Amino acid sequence: MTTKKFTGVIPPVVVPLTQGRELDVPSFERNVNRMIEAGVDGLFILGSSSEVVFSTDQRRSDIIQNLVRIVDGRVPVLAGIIDTETERMIEHGKRAEQMGVDALVATCPFYALQGIDEIEWSFRCLHDALNLPIFAYDIPVCVHNKLDTDMLVRLGKDGVLAGVKDSSGDDISFRYLVMGNEDAGHPMSILTGHEVVVDGAYLSGADGSVPGLANVEPYGYVRQWKAAQEGDWETVKKEQDRLARIMRITAVTKGVQGFGAGVGAFKTALQLMGVFETNQMPRPVHSLKGENVEAIKRVLEENGLL
Amino acid sequence: MTTKKFTGVIPPVVVPLTQGRELDVPSFERNVNRMIEAGVDGLFILGSSSEVVFSTDQRRSDIIQNLVRIVDGRVPVLAGIIDTETERMIEHGKRAEQMGVDALVATCPFYALQGIDEIEWSFRCLHDALNLPIFAYDIPVCVHNKLDTDMLVRLGKDGVLAGVKDSSGDDISFRYLVMGNEDAGHPMSILTGHEVVVDGAYLSGADGSVPGLANVEPYGYVRQWKAAQEGDWETVKKEQDRLARIMRITAVTKGVQGFGAGVGAFKTALQLMGVFETNQMPRPVHSLKGENVEAIKRVLEENGLL
Amino acid sequence: MTTKKFTGVIPPVVVPLTQGRELDVPSFERNVNRMIEAGVDGLFILGSSSEVVFSTDQRRSDIIQNLVRIVDGRVPVLAGIIDTETERMIEHGKRAEQMGVDALVATCPFYALQGIDEIEWSFRCLHDALNLPIFAYDIPVCVHNKLDTDMLVRLGKDGVLAGVKDSSGDDISFRYLVMGNEDAGHPMSILTGHEVVVDGAYLSGADGSVPGLANVEPYGYVRQWKAAQEGDWETVKKEQDRLARIMRITAVTKGVQGFGAGVGAFKTALQLMGVFETNQMPRPVHSLKGENVEAIKRVLEENGLL
Amino acid sequence: MTTKKFTGVIPPVVVPLTQGRELDVPSFERNVNRMIEAGVDGLFILGSSSEVVFSTDQRRSDIIQNLVRIVDGRVPVLAGIIDTETERMIEHGKRAEQMGVDALVATCPFYALQGIDEIEWSFRCLHDALNLPIFAYDIPVCVHNKLDTDMLVRLGKDGVLAGVKDSSGDDISFRYLVMGNEDAGHPMSILTGHEVVVDGAYLSGADGSVPGLANVEPYGYVRQWKAAQEGDWETVKKEQDRLARIMRITAVTKGVQGFGAGVGAFKTALQLMGVFETNQMPRPVHSLKGENVEAIKRVLEENGLL
């Protein structure tokens, strides 16, 4: 039941900063409204793309509160409660619940090494301590643990998890997750986080996507989801090819990597398109400059976004 | 031109052994003939699934010669020339050329660490020393290096590579490889090696697949490729879901891993289905026994293969 | 100058919990006093062994305040300010400074991927924002980045870092760090965090050690450091061999791993030795039980600690 | 008994090539004779430093035969039989045995993933099929598997292994290996392969070293081993510090990595010192040129080797 609510295109919201690294509220409003008006089905705040791990607790609260105010119930809001371990995640979860979001998103514990028993127990602790639906966030590139497919399905069956946001880069386990969820009566909403292979994920039965690139180009992802609903796979693939070309903004830069290359490119594109005032990044990440900005500009121009 | 020849379903051939670990020629013939009669478009011999790295040079020759004899020109044959470094691969390549295969398949060097310059030079050395079309085999789980997409496209444009067999498990780079190859005029045949996500690969534009599981169930992969050719994506997906369920034979065993779990399961299934005499494995890999065999049998029964 | 202060044996303090997972202050006092009375040269609180990433901000403050009160100036105190990114670490650092510790210990950022430029900038930001001496904590098994030796020496020369706690498991880079620090005029105190190879680290010129095992057996590490100061390397080695045998408490357990196996074994040993009331672990880590406790007991008995 | 024979300094022999990439026999003689005259205790041929994986079977035979002829019984010779899997290693072992070497050195299988059971069985198969003492070569950076300490001790006790060459970079497991071997009655000779931390390995009880750098500077390693035998640890450490500075030849180059940086630097140093005619590398590795050669020259000059 809860899962019906969390399907379709649910972009992770990129957070604009002023030059002085304060939250840039007007730019934030423009970005959020633009995505909602384009027809997205939900928004995910305080995930990796929202620079959650760079944000102090105060900043996290500011971001959620502003988002809830801007969204004003137009689409459901999922909020990340990402932190190193269980008790800290519960604290974030309780704060987020008081601010009026619709679901919570948690990774497995990280920094200290954990086995599968501890990971499963961690999700069960979150469920016991919190009231909102919980999504598991599978992102081994950040937490250095791949969530086990059978464990996820078990947690879905037991009502602990309402869904999974899969950024694992493992399309094989993704398919088994979708199949396992189906066999279990579809208790969870399975969302892919990989912008350039959403077509394959939809074909395999995914319930939606969480594409960071939808901050830059929400329209294509919305059209793609509609086409998938109608079984029009040629359109799904055609939209995907175009979006994959736009995603090259994260690959044409030089001398940057990881978060700085990915979210840095999104912020730079949004600045070039007039949505953001700056492409400022949180410390210790440098914002993109000079030739890197030019390279991104060229990709946007080639794809008709400028 | 060469690439037209190497499209569709091209299974990597699993090699049967007698209990004494000799090549079991009658079982080999049954397996090869069964796949050709099911309609596969080619065969890949001496890849990971053919236990190439377990085979002495004499055994490698025996395997190729028997295969060429059995196939007798009915479908094209690609032969692996896998070894640690360039000169050794060239030796294997020269021998394979004399035995009448149609193309060669090589990984990047492994064991000694190499950078991208050395990897590119290695493929160019192979091309200079050998006469047959060369496929690059991207299999980081074995060689611990992911082949760079831009390098592959460059080697395709330069006529060094006739294609890529992608077993990288990275569907994002796979899509960019397919797009880059398309933009370059389609010089290469791009094949996926991942049995359970062939549908997504076809949707993204792959030229074919190299599914180990096609030794067990070639019919589904042949039907799937035909459906993809006709744009019937619902069938492509439906066949894939069925094949993914059969692929569980590689996951239901306990206490085994890697090659022993994967190829061990294929051999066990083929024995249960009467194609192979034994499920014997090359040393130092144990063949599957007892409950592991029972678990595989159940998967085959559930999917109507027994 | 500051570095003279931070040499010798500086154990990371293991934190006892009550069965209900509250801070067990009486056990904490016993453990700290026992180590100081054994002659340790300093204490490191809120590192990995102090379950820093499992602790809420309130718990972190409780732990530091209790430790500062118990130590009462007898030895210098280093406090970890470990968190995902720079601004969050600065917040922890400001709080710790107000509680009267003597130095701060920080890892590089983690979760979001960073390059060497960002890592260096992060340490410089900490130095600019905080007043106490800062130690870099090199622990790739937790943060998935190895700190670059040349960068560390550069930060030492520039007065940004007062020292390094090396838990990298890389004895080659450790030697080059010690040599680079020496060539730069010894601006930093270089400490090894690896309990079982402290002898080699001392021989190569380390300024001290941060052995978690010293919670269980501080006397041996104190004797070892004195012997090293006197150039009595046979004793240094002999003590090390004995300590390595005691460290087997972290390897004789079954079905546990990482933090649960390491700190779990320390807590269990301290309970068996009457220092701790319980061997309770923070959620989601299970405390050791049954045969695992028996196995640890046998190691302690064999080495005369029970 | 056999192990007494294999102690002290046993360099892995770097192999000189002509510009046309043929074996340069006169340079080979100069290098081997220089090391023997400096007092090394044995020689290890066809390890990673001898470019074993780059060599065809014919080249492997040429290298061994030339070495055995040059050495002429003055020191024991250990020969690598490195290849992907068991049967292939046995073939190399049988050939090496006929050429008059004194011991064989084998890694675990690589390329195809193996578990600990398969690895142990592989060593037992080698022992059953071959007659000479067998050393296990622990080099996870090349084979992507760390040999288990308990397994190695078990194989030593059972007479399967005569020793271990440890290039694992894990000084903690190395200590436990030395202790486990001691507790088992010292059936194996435990040798470290890490040039810059030999002092710590000797202090912990190693039976010798296999330093690639000893091709460049054998005298220091010979003096160091003698000092270790006499318990003169200050000299052991002093020699190590000097050797660590010379080892910088492998780190001062730019744009190269792995084998090309390490063995490339050794070959370049030997050419600059007049021992080798060229610094030619096997394909696909580029030989060092220009500024990289100058950087190595400076290190050699600073350390009095030119």
Q: Given an 8 Å threshold on Cβ–Cβ distance, is D237 in contact with C204?
A: yes
Can you tell me the distance from the alpha carbon of D287 to that of D280, in angstroms, rounded to the nearest whole number? 5
Cβ-based burial of A98 (10 A; exposed 0-12, middle 13-18, buried ≥19): exposed
Can you tell me the distance from the alpha carbon of A180 to that of A162, in angstroms, rounded to the nearest whole number? 14
Q: Given an 8 Å threshold on Cβ–Cβ distance, is C176 in contact with D196?
A: yes
ipTM of the complex: 0.96
pLDDT of residue A32: 98
Neighbours of chain C (3+ CB pairs under 8 A): A, D
| B32 and B292 Cβ atoms separated by less than 8 Å | no
Average model confidence (pLDDT) across chain C? 97
A222 token code pair: 């919305």
Can you tell me the distance from the alpha carbon of C142 to that of C54, in angstroms, rounded to the nearest whole number? 13
Mean pLDDT of the region B226-244: 98
pLDDT one-digit tens code per residue, A179-238:
999 999 999 999 999 999 999 999 999 999 999 999 999 999 999 999 999 999 999 999
pLDDT of residue C257: 87
pLDDT one-digit tens code per residue, B257-272:
889 999 999 999 999 9
At A23 the three-state DSSP class reads strand
Q: Which of residues 183-212 of C touch D (CB under 8 A)?
A: 194, 196-197, 199-201, 203-205
| CB nearest D175 (choices: C179, C203, C244) | C244
Longest alpha-carbon distance in chain A: 52
pTM over 0.95: yes
Residue C1 pLDDT exceeds 50: no
At B118 the three-state DSSP class reads helix
Residue type present at position B25? V
pLDDT one-digit tens code per residue, D130-150:
999 999 999 999 999 999 999
| CB nearest B258 (choices: D51, D83, D112) | D112
Question: Model confidence at C293, in pLDDT bands (50, 70, 90)?
Answer: very high
Q: Given an 8 Å threshold on Cβ–Cβ distance, is D112 in contact with B53?
A: yes
pLDDT of residue D4: 64
Whole-angstrom CA distances from D128 to B261, C2, D157 are 26, 61, 15
pLDDT one-digit tens code per residue, D180-233:
999 999 999 999 999 999 999 999 999 999 999 999 999 999 999 999 999 999
Interior/surface letters D265-294, b for 16+ CB within 10 angstroms, e for the rest: bbbbbbbbeebbbbbbbbbbbbbbeeebbe
Mean pLDDT of the region B273-288: 97
| A24 and A275 Cβ atoms separated by less than 8 Å | no
Whole-angstrom CA distances from C170 to A183, B35, C214, D238 are 47, 51, 21, 20
Instruction: Give D187's strand partners.
Output: none
Cβ-based burial of D95 (10 A; exposed 0-12, middle 13-18, buried ≥19): middle
CB proximity A151 to C under 8 Å: no
Question: Model confidence at A4, in pLDDT bands (50, 70, 90)?
Answer: low
Q: Given an 8 Å threshold on Cβ–Cβ distance, is B87 in contact with D54?
A: yes
pLDDT one-digit tens code per residue, D250-304:
999 999 988 999 999 999 999 999 999 999 999 999 999 999 999 999 999 999 9
Tell me the backbone φ, ψ of residue D42, rounded to 5 degrees. 180, 175
Question: Model confidence at D239, in pLDDT bands (50, 70, 90)?
Answer: very high
Mean pLDDT of the region D105-116: 93
pLDDT one-digit tens code per residue, A132-160:
999 999 999 999 999 999 999 999 999 99
Of 3.40.50.720, 3.20.20.70, 3.40.50.1220, 1.10.10.10, which CATH number belongs to D8-230? 3.20.20.70
pLDDT of residue D257: 87
Nearest CA to B2 among B95, B72, B142, B104?
B104
| B163 and B6 Cβ atoms separated by less than 8 Å | yes
Q: Judging by DSSP bridges, how do beta strands B103-106 and B77-80 pair with one another?
A: parallel
Nearest CA to A156 among A134, A131, A175, A171?
A134
Nearest CA to A39 among A219, A213, A228?
A219
CB proximity B179 to A under 8 Å: yes
Strand (E) positions, chain D?
8-9, 43-45, 77-80, 103-106, 134-138, 163-166, 189-192, 208-209
Q: Looking at chain A, how many residues does it have?
A: 306
CB proximity B113 to D under 8 Å: yes
Mean pLDDT of the region B154-164: 98
Contact partners, residue C301, CB within 8 Å, separation at least 6: none
| D256 and D292 Cβ atoms separated by less than 8 Å | yes
Can you tell me the distance from the alpha carbon of B267 to that of A64, in angstroms, rounded to the nearest whole number? 55
Contact partners, residue D107, CB within 8 Å, separation at least 6: D82, D136, D137, D138, D139, D142, D143
pLDDT of residue B4: 64
pLDDT of residue C292: 98
CB proximity D245 to B under 8 Å: no
pLDDT of residue C241: 98
pLDDT one-digit tens code per residue, C142-162:
999 999 999 999 999 999 999
| C43 and C71 Cβ atoms separated by less than 8 Å | yes
pLDDT of residue D2: 45
Do D and A share at least 3 CB pairs under 8 Å? no
pLDDT one-digit tens code per residue, A109-119:
999 978 999 99
Can you tell me the distance from the alpha carbon of B272 to that of B274, in angstroms, rounded to the nearest whole number? 5
Mean pLDDT of the region C263-286: 98
**Cβ-based contacts of B62 with chain D (< 8 Å):** none
Residue B50 pLDDT exceeds 80: yes
Q: Which of C84, C89, C141 is best to mutate for the A interface (most A CBs within 10 A)?
A: C84
CB proximity B68 to D under 8 Å: no
**Cβ-based contacts of D109 with chain B (< 8 Å):** 53, 284
Strand (E) positions, chain A?
8-9, 43-45, 77-80, 103-106, 134-138, 163-166, 189-192, 208-209
Can you tell me the distance from the alpha carbon of B46 to that of B67, in angstroms, rounded to the nearest whole number? 10
Please tell me the least confidently modeled range out of A125-129, B109-113, C70-74, D34-38. B109-113
**Among residues of chain B, what percentage have pLDDT more than 70?**
99
pLDDT of residue D212: 98
Calculate the CA dihedral of residues A192, A193, A194, A195 and round it to 10 degrees: 100
